[in-house]
Chain A
Amino acid sequence: MSEDVTGIVVPIHLDYTYTPGVAASRFLRHIAEGNYVGQRCPKCKKVYVPPRGSCPTCGVPTDEEVELKQTGTITAFCIVNIPFAGQAVECPYVSATIQLDGADIGFYHLIQEIPYDQIHIGMRVEAVWKPREEWGTTTESIAHFKPTDA
């Protein structure tokens, strides 16, 4: 007796060589030194961090570098409770968009050191860095963000 074969599982594996580009490379080298450095648009004056090398609104290069404070505000967040294939952070975790003081756009990072039900939009947070020897050209050099008053 044999069962009909209606499908087979074929795993796929992808290896990427990722080139971050000039602006992101500069940003990541600054991160490896413990600094958040964005870029300001010469036209609309908006500060992008991470910088993209050009302003998506004005379409002009953003050459001027701006060192930012490591404090900011939560602009939005969610609490992730769903496990999924390839997940690297243990559930539940809080994924938030954080806009650093002096920046005009937010980026995603983890919020910790506070009960999740006390987190709110508008909350003031600061970067918590990993031990110096773990810094590298990645925003994973920052372990997470925590409330400024915590």
Chain B
Amino acid sequence: MANPCAIIGIGQTKHDTKREDCSQIDLVREAAKRALEDAGLTWRDIDAVVIGKAPDTFEGVMMPELFLADALGAVGKPMLRVHTAGSVGGSTALVAASLIQAGVHDRVLTVAYEKQSESDAMWALAMKIPFSPPLVAGAGGYFAPHIRKYIAQSKAPDDIGIKVAVKDRLNGVKNPYAHLHLPNITYEEVRDSLMLWDPIRYLETCPSSDGACAMVLASESASNAPTRPAWVHGGAMRSEPTMFAGRDEVNPIAGQECARDVYKQAGISDPRKEFDAAEIYVPFSWFEAMWMENLHFAPIGDGWKMTDTGATAIDGDMPINPSGGVMCSNPIGASGMLRFAEAAMQVRGQAGEHQIDGARLALGHAYGGGSQYYAMWVVGSEKP
């Protein structure tokens, strides 16, 4: 049986299109210092640093963890970089948690970031594959066909993506760190926005952000902090090949199994009933409906109904992304850790204006690559 792991410090940057006021170094330190401050600790108290970010082409800097070691106080300490594409923020937190759960360290600082403005992620994700036509058009071009397939299979009304986009942007207004603050957004504005990758509209797409997130994870004996900790009740990762005959890209097996594993660890049998909040990785608004099915919150074909009936709203029975989620801030490498951190903030009662009253159990979820990497954790206000 693994040792308990507490989340005692959480910090994030203000996310924005271009954080020209700071370097990559300043960005990770901004989040890390806030996490240390929240934990009531200093750099000196940290035993090891685990950092994650998405592909190096997103900034055009090879292995940035090397030059960030000093800035993150890792000199003379173990430092590890994790990379699992868009899910990396989640898997980085889980690697850090495993160092606590295995009894290796007492206090681990984990950080994830992206400074998208320093390169061009669309270009980085649209490189020509040799000997084939140059058709790939970034992440949207890859995921749009899956969304079209979901709409066809589920017979969902074609405006579910619009409703999620409006809901998440209005949630984001309550989050001071969110990149997009669009208090006046309307259904009509999203509907009439440019179709970028039909069926995905501009306003149904996440922004491109600079930002970072950090957490201090601690063993039971090191879990005293100014704010009561959140506790890890389960953590799981899964992967699957990007392409194999019969693959269901809409409802990938790896995601279904990752969810089953993490629910089993946390003793959850009915996620919709038992979770008070969930922060899930929704880079294109339709994915809320798709993930509700993949995460067993709704029967196959019914995920969109949760959005349509308002169940996923901040005042619904299953609030999804009360922080505004990836639809409001997408510093890619940090986006997964932000989901994990926002889930922990909910059960610590730290979420401010987007706090779900009395939240005790929450899910953090991230996915990446061609929907082939998954990372999830369940966090609770009580020690498991």
Contact = CB atoms under 8 A, between A and B. Distances in A.
Interface of A: 6-7, 10, 12, 16, 18, 20, 24, 28, 44, 46-48, 56-57, 75-82, 84-89, 92-93, 95-97, 104-105, 107-110, 116, 121, 137-140
Nearest to A16: B130
Contacts of B145: 76-78, 95-97
A46 B126 contact: no
A104 B133 contact: no
A44 B137 CA distance: 33
B148 A77 contact: yes
Interface of B: 20-21, 60, 118, 120, 122-123, 126-128, 130-138, 140-141, 144-146, 148-149, 152, 194-200, 241, 243-247, 249
A78 B198 contact: yes
B131 A139 contact: yes
Contacts of B249: 76
B141 A137 contact: no
Given A79-B195, A81-B195, A46 B135 contact: no
Contact of B132 (A77, A78, A139): A139
Contacts of A16: 130
Contacts of B148: 76-78, 121
B20 A7 contact: yes
A18 B244 CA distance: 22
27 contacts: A7-B20, A20-B131, A44-B245, A48-B245, A75-B149, A76-B249, A78-B148, A78-B198, A81-B196, A81-B197, A81-B198, A84-B123, A84-B126, A85-B122, A86-B123, A88-B128, A89-B135, A95-B137, A97-B145, A105-B244, A105-B245, A108-B135, A109-B133, A121-B149, A121-B152, A138-B131, A140-B131
Contact of B136 (A47, A79, A96, A108): A108
Contact of A82 (B128, B135, B140): B140
Closest 10 CB pairs of A and B: A78-B144, A76-B145, A79-B198, A104-B245, A46-B245, A88-B134, A56-B244, A95-B135, A85-B123, A138-B131
Given A88-B128, A121-B148, A93 B135 contact: yes
Contacts of A18: 130-131
A79 B120 CA distance: 22
A102 B62 CA distance: 43
B22 to A, nearest CB: 9
Given A78-B199, A89-B134, A108-B136, A56 B141 contact: no
